A and B are shown apart, each in its own frame.
Chain A
Amino acid sequence: MDVLALLADGFATSLSPLNLMIVIIGVTAGLFIGAMPGLGSVNGVAIVLPLTFIVPPSSAIILLAAIYYGAMYGGAISSILLGIPGASTAVATTFDGRPMAQQGKAGLALIAAAVASFVGGTISIVLFTLFAAPLANVALAFGPAEEFALVLLAFTTFVGLGGDDKLKTIVMICLGLVLSTVGLDLISGQPRLIFGDIPGFYAGISFLVLAIGVYGVGEVLYTIETSKTAPQVTPARITWRELGNGLREMNRLWKAMSIGSFLGFFVGMLPAAGATPASLMAYGIARQTSKNPKSFGKGNIEGVAAPETANNAASTGSLLPMLTLGIPGSPTTALLLGGMVMWGLVPGPMLFIEEPDFVWGLISSLYTANFAAVAINIALIPIFVWALRMPFTVLCAIVLVLCIVGGFAPSQKMHDVWLIAGFGVAGYLLRKADYPLAPLVLALVLGPLMEKSFRQTLIAEQGNVLAFVERPLSGSFIAIALLFFALPLIKSLRRTGSRGVAPAE
């Protein structure tokens, strides 16, 4: 169809020397912004937005998109190397990325992250190119009831698994949900759980603050204790030859990466969701469907690939409602949207018809940005890994400093730094008591979305709880959620029932 012709025109724009240079600069800058704990694509885009007046709009949006992409790749770097999530979208990457680094496989984890990001990005751009218009209608069909059902589905992927102690998982989810209610309530406008009247709690507890606390600080405390007797971190080094071998290993990951790509694109496309829930859900589902779920959280490479594919796929996916409906799917796309408005472009259903040069220039630049990002990222891996060869006593101090800076930078409030310290100690103790931390973090991300959509539905439907199952989309999501929840039960029943008969799998 003429989609290809339009795309070819787009490439003519995005491959001009100026735009190509912009992509490379943007991707590199984004990579470092993303790698810095606390700074994510939102900050990168916000900083550069006013500068984009110097260049024409099509180049400007390309620069912003390149930074956006670069930051998505970069987020994985500190998640893997230091155990501090580089951005909220990369929290799920720490679950298995950090254990891999501790086993001396940091290089392999970084390669997996880069390749996964590339695959996720590329698949979702192709989906975007081919189906942008019809998919916009899917996003429209998603009301509060459907959002709730989707979030419920995300939770069950975490609970419904035999790997961890189920009761402990549920306890942690409940704790996360309680934390997620702190702050100003959207529906009533009243503050909740502000501990007397501590102003810092009005804004709620930021998800990144919790993640940096329990993973970054908690991890340092835990490592200090365990390494008293023997140094636990295996020094990592990587040669170009190993890099090549690592790349060849990636074809084993096709399953985790296809889960991440499609799930990421789909969840990212829904307004209000975005890349963070997408990456957590992809992690949960990859674990749920894995042959060896118990190895997740202990350095399974699939646990790195799934969330990294998903967060890149989601970041492309969230451009879709922004361009076709004028609704940002994430804070970063909200800023991009602001940029478009400044350039006099009205996002919405007519944008594809009125401004084809702009739209297709942007889409084609996503392809080039993706190629640039993966190349630059892989080339830099030996340098990143080299940083891990610092003695632990030095590294440990650097990690703590980065945690504090990363917690302070987004909000510029000391309140968040104290919270990080508190969460760090709590995270350390919970870990010693063998409580899983991932469900806690998941609940804080998805909790507000779940509560909001649940209450919106009940308000709109005048308190009719059946509204959730009556609607076809949300009804089927809830059915799948129940199935996920019951799956391990059915599996174990079948195992006991079919003993002596041929194994089921």
Chain B
Amino acid sequence: MAHTFTRRVVLAMTASAAMVAGSVTTALAEGWKPQKPVEMVIMAGQGGGADRLARLFQSIIQKEGLSNMPMLPVNKGGGSGAEALRYLKDKSGDAHVIMATLNSYYTTPLRTDIGVDIAEFTPVARMAEDTFLLWVNADSGITTLDEYVAAVKAEGTGWKMGGTGTGQEDSLVTAMIEGAFDIKMTYVPFQGGGEVAKNLIGNHVNSTVNNPSEALGFYKAGKAVPLVAFTPERLAAFPDVPTARELGHDIVYAMQRSFVAPPGMPQEAVDYYTAMFEKVSQSEEWKTYVAESALMPAFLTGDDLQAYFLAERDKHAKILETIEAGS
């Protein structure tokens, strides 16, 4: 019975999307249009940061009527996204599948042999880059990077850095920090960014490299203090927080939020989705979200995006090498 309900909702979604769509879609793409609902594969499980963002895109597309067919999010988070990557590869030539990516797009094929070369995939659009900051608990009294480094050194190797799973973004940033200051911290992996932030506030770890959106609530309440941002420029949401570069340490790391398509997607379809995401990037909802979550809007498409992906992959290969050499 619930099954019928599900189908009914999908039908209702289709109908409402189509109704609102009307004028916009005709202006958007004269030629190719999706013929059936589009699968939006998510490289992570339900409820995480990547999932939330993908669903935000879905709702913006639907609310603004940017597609004549609904987007159906499908979570394939198995094996740090290995499952999703294999799935996309097996869908070669399919015009009704797109995938929301994060940095495991590079690291997973590098770390495990899953027979996927991301150079084969079709780039669609990079929506934003998520940023990383170094956080400590307000109770610690630490307010600057120098104090932080001194405090870590005083602990020997006992300083606890909390982060997401080993080999994922947080552990890479941690390795970069350790390399830059010649320090060694005890890295404690947790299930997700929210849990990491909570363990910082509960004093179970000493520092984290959370994304702004994960620590924002605690920051507003004055319980978490950002020391330094690992971004090229200062973040508008944190104007008083210096970048690592300003302080003379070249640590810059970002998490890309992009969409890619299977190898060999027809060009008209690629154009359609690219135009659709361009509209999304100009929508009010997206702009508000970007500002509130301290994301860096970084819209990029086509060959430039592919070049960026490949450059990032090389960069990650190097970071992973240093981590493996170090352990």
The finding on whether chains A and B are genuine partners in a shared complex, rather than unrelated, reads yes
A459 touches B188 (CB 8 A): yes
Interface centre among A142, A332, A346 (most CB of B within 10 A): A346
The interface residues of chain A lying within 8 Å CB-to-CB of B74 are: 412
Instruction: Give A213 Cβ to nearest chain B Cβ, in Å.
Output: 19
A381 interface residue (CB < 8 Å to B): no
Q: In the complex, A203→B45 CA distance in Å?
A: 10
The interface residues of chain B lying within 8 Å CB-to-CB of A321 are: 198
Among B53-61, B249-257, B266-274, the stretch in contact with A: B53-61
B59 touches A49 (CB 8 A): yes
A334 interface residue (CB < 8 Å to B): yes
The interface residues of chain B lying within 8 Å CB-to-CB of A347 are: 217
A460 touches B2 (CB 8 A): no
Among B189-197, B228-236, B310-318, the stretch in contact with A: B189-197
Query: Chain B residue with minimal CB distance to A324?
Result: B217
B217 touches A53 (CB 8 A): no
Among A28-36, A168-176, A423-431, the stretch in contact with B: A28-36
B188 touches A460 (CB 8 A): yes
Q: In the complex, A35→B45 CA distance in Å?
A: 23
Q: Which of B9, B46, B223 contacts A51 (CB 8 A)?
A: B9
Query: Chain A residue with minimal CB distance to B200?
Result: A140
Q: In the complex, A338→B82 CA distance in Å?
A: 24
B282 interface residue (CB < 8 Å to A): no
Interface centre among B79, B80, B205, B218 (most CB of A within 10 A): B79
A351 touches B217 (CB 8 A): yes
A335 interface residue (CB < 8 Å to B): yes
Q: Which of A186, A326, A332 contacts B194 (CB 8 A)?
A: A326
* Cβ contacts A350-389/B at 8 Å (1 or 0 each): 1100000000000000000000000000000000000000
A199 interface residue (CB < 8 Å to B): yes
Interface residues of A in 133-170 (CB under 8 A from B): 139-144
A271 touches B194 (CB 8 A): yes
B79 touches A191 (CB 8 A): yes
A21 interface residue (CB < 8 Å to B): no
Instruction: Give A323 Cβ to nearest chain B Cβ, in Å.
Output: 10
**Known: A191-B112, A326-B218, A347-B217. Is A271-B198 also a contact (CB below 8 A)?**
yes
A327 touches B46 (CB 8 A): no
B22 interface residue (CB < 8 Å to A): no
Instruction: Give B284 Cβ to nearest chain A Cβ, in Å.
Output: 11
A12 interface residue (CB < 8 Å to B): no
B158 touches A36 (CB 8 A): no
A342 interface residue (CB < 8 Å to B): yes
A398 interface residue (CB < 8 Å to B): no
A328 interface residue (CB < 8 Å to B): yes
Q: In the complex, A144→B205 CA distance in Å?
A: 10
B80 touches A331 (CB 8 A): no
A199 touches B63 (CB 8 A): no
Interface residues of A in 16-60 (CB under 8 A from B): 29, 32-33, 35-36, 39, 42-43, 46-51, 53-54
A298 interface residue (CB < 8 Å to B): no
Q: Which of A189, A338, A456 contacts B51 (CB 8 A)?
A: A338
Interface residues of B in 175-230 (CB under 8 A from A): 186-191, 194-195, 197-199, 201-205, 213-214, 216-218, 220-221, 223
Instruction: Give B179 Cβ to nearest chain A Cβ, in Å.
Output: 19
**Known: A142-B202, A327-B197. Is A456-B79 also a contact (CB below 8 A)?**
no
A128 interface residue (CB < 8 Å to B): no
The interface residues of chain B lying within 8 Å CB-to-CB of A51 are: 9, 12-13, 16
B34 interface residue (CB < 8 Å to A): no
B36 interface residue (CB < 8 Å to A): no
B189 touches A349 (CB 8 A): no
Query: Chain A residue with minimal CB distance to B171?
Result: A189
The interface residues of chain A lying within 8 Å CB-to-CB of B5 are: 29, 32-33
A184 interface residue (CB < 8 Å to B): yes
Q: Which of A42, A49, A271, A346 contacts B195 (CB 8 A)?
A: A271
A348 interface residue (CB < 8 Å to B): yes
Instruction: Give A183 Cβ to nearest chain B Cβ, in Å.
Output: 8
Q: Which of B47, B62, B166, B204 contacts A189 (CB 8 A)?
A: B166
B160 interface residue (CB < 8 Å to A): yes
A36 touches B2 (CB 8 A): yes
B83 touches A326 (CB 8 A): no
The interface residues of chain A lying within 8 Å CB-to-CB of B59 are: 49-50, 53, 342
* Cβ contacts B103-145/A at 8 Å (1 or 0 each): 0000000011010000000000000000000000000000000
The interface residues of chain B lying within 8 Å CB-to-CB of A412 are: 74
Q: Which of B3, B46, B62, B216 contacts A53 (CB 8 A)?
A: B62
A341 interface residue (CB < 8 Å to B): yes
The interface residues of chain B lying within 8 Å CB-to-CB of A49 are: 55, 59
B77 interface residue (CB < 8 Å to A): yes
A350 touches B220 (CB 8 A): yes
Instruction: Give B3 Cβ to nearest chain A Cβ, in Å.
Output: 7
A335 touches B46 (CB 8 A): yes
Instruction: Give A324 Cβ to nearest chain B Cβ, in Å.
Output: 9
B194 touches A349 (CB 8 A): no
B158 touches A327 (CB 8 A): no
B194 touches A327 (CB 8 A): yes
A188 touches B78 (CB 8 A): no
B189 touches A456 (CB 8 A): yes
**Closest 10 CB pairs between A and B?**
A348-B217, A334-B47, A203-B78, A202-B79, A143-B204, A338-B52, A36-B2, A349-B221, A189-B167, A140-B202
A sample of 9 inter-chain contacts (CB < 8 A) reads A32-B2, A36-B1, A43-B6, A46-B73, A51-B16, A140-B198, A186-B191, A326-B218, A460-B188
Contacts beyond the supplied A32-B5, A50-B13: 7 A-B pairs with Cβ under 8 Å: A47-B6, A50-B58, A53-B63, A191-B112, A335-B52, A350-B217, A460-B205
B contacts, CB < 8 Å to A: 1-3, 5-6, 9, 12-13, 16, 45-48, 51-52, 55-56, 58-59, 62-63, 73-74, 77-80, 82-83, 86, 111-112, 114, 157-158, 160, 165-168, 186-191, 194-195, 197-199, 201-205, 213-214, 216-218, 220-221, 223, 285, 288-289, 292-293
